[in-house]
Structure 1
Amino acid sequence: MSILTTVLIIAAVLVVLLAAGVLLRARMGPSGGTRSLKRRFGPEYDRTLARHGGDGEAADRDLRERTERYGHLKPLPLEPAVREQYTAQWTTLQERFVDAPRQAVADAGALIGRVAATRGFPDADRPEEQLDALSVHHPRQVEGLRTARRGADSESASTEELREALVHARALFDHLTTAESATVATARPHGTSGHRRGHLLKPKGSGA
């Protein structure tokens, strides 16, 4: 084999590898690969993977599409008076939980939907779009809204299950109504706000 032939073969291999790398990056998209998506979305990644029956490629594609669609959304700030109004509404529905737990959870889901719309997310009358957008910016709390909606719709949910639904919903409510809630999830990926929680909404095992 001549030197020229060897060089041509090596060049052809390099071209193939380069093309494969470009294709892989294109498939990964701007959000990166599976590991990056797992870091960014946390429990939302696992939920999406389960929703797609364990199909990792489908889950990755789903989350990348959400990020492309809603990642550049800049949540609008809440005026202090509006924030106080929403907080007062939450306090009222929380107080009603003892007498009407299912209605309180339904009201919580509706209130979060209104707050999200006020912040610039899709309206609550487009529930799946709203959830998708919230999952990009609040991936560690968005399940709270799903839980509230499921609890309100379930006739068989126990009072304890409804209480847990309200606990999870409160975490998202707090994120949406605090000053830091405009920060995209990738910048502040951990933790939930614990402000203004009443005794009713203390998570199990809390020492507070």
Structure 2
Amino acid sequence: MNALSPFALAIGLVLLAIIVALVVTFSRNRRSAALRDRYGEEYARTVEKAGNPYEGEALLQERVKRVAAFHIRPLAPAQRHAFIDDWLSIQARFVDDPSGAVIRADVLLSDVMLARGYPVAEFEQRYEDLSVDHAEVVAHYRTAHAIAGSHAQGEARTEELRRAMIHYRTLFDDLVNEPEDFSGVIEHREGRIHDLFKETTRRE
């Protein structure tokens, strides 16, 4: 059996290195594509905040691992209907007490998360946990929370509080409805939520 010449051995090692590099690149690209598909706009936000795709993707993967350890569960039918009734009550309250309604909406979302199996945590942690399975709507949570924070400092007007309620409602609908089916629960309540927004507009 003839031994490989140094030149042939060098060529073989170069080809092996190229193959390994291609496999690693392909695997990384697949991982990046999967994370982009899963997180959508949250992918770009996290990568930008981290400073580079490698660090950002590592943070997103850590979220997936953390949430996988939670016992996320659907709401029982009685819980689901009770939360929907609570939301409708809060929405009705907005007409006369916008500030109180926004505060209560934020609390209600925390209650829903707890009932679904998410741990009690600070806002940023709740936001990151929700982004794993609710990336399409979690940005609404951040926007609503920011408006609520501005209001606490006396900087948010009624129209902005109304927008906060709309953003809260989007996440609420997703959390309460999922994973039973994929149709919005609010729209099934004879348009009550939307009618109350129109009513508020007429009164102002």
Q: Smaller-chain TM-score range?
A: 0.7 to 0.9
Cα displacement (A) at 1:91: 0.7
Q: Is the 8 A contact 2:40 2:135 kept in 1?
A: yes
Q: Is the 8 A contact 2:148 2:164 kept in 1?
A: no
Residue number in structure 2 paired with 1:148: 144
Larger radius of gyration: 2
* Residues 19-34 of structure 1 aligned to structure 2 (within 5 Å): 19-21=20-22, 28=28, 32-33=31-32
* Identical amino acids, percent of aligned pairs: 35
RMSD: 3.0
Return the structure number with greater helix share: 2
Q: TM-score, normalised by structure 2?
A: 0.77
Distance 2:70 2:161 in 1: 31
Distance 2:37 2:20 in 1: 27
Q: Structure 1 pair 19/50, CA: closer, same or farther in 2 (3 Å)?
A: closer
Distance 1:174 1:138 in 2: 11
Q: Is the 8 A contact 1:48 1:59 kept in 2?
A: yes
Distance 1:100 1:51 in 2: 36
Residue number in structure 2 paired with 1:205: none
Residue number in structure 1 paired with 2:13: 12
Q: Read off the aligned partner of 2:5 and give its amino acid letter.
A: L
Equivalent of residue 101 in structure 1, options 74, 94, 98 = 98
Mark the runs of 5 or more structure 1 residues left unpaired by the alignment: 203-208
Q: Structure 1 pair 201/144, CA: closer, same or farther in 2 (3 Å)?
A: farther
Deviations 1:100-148 (A, max 9, x none): 222211211111111011111122x443322211100100111222222
Residue number in structure 1 paired with 2:41: 43
Mark the runs of 5 or more structure 2 residues left unpaired by the alignment: 199-204
Q: TM-score, normalised by structure 1?
A: 0.76
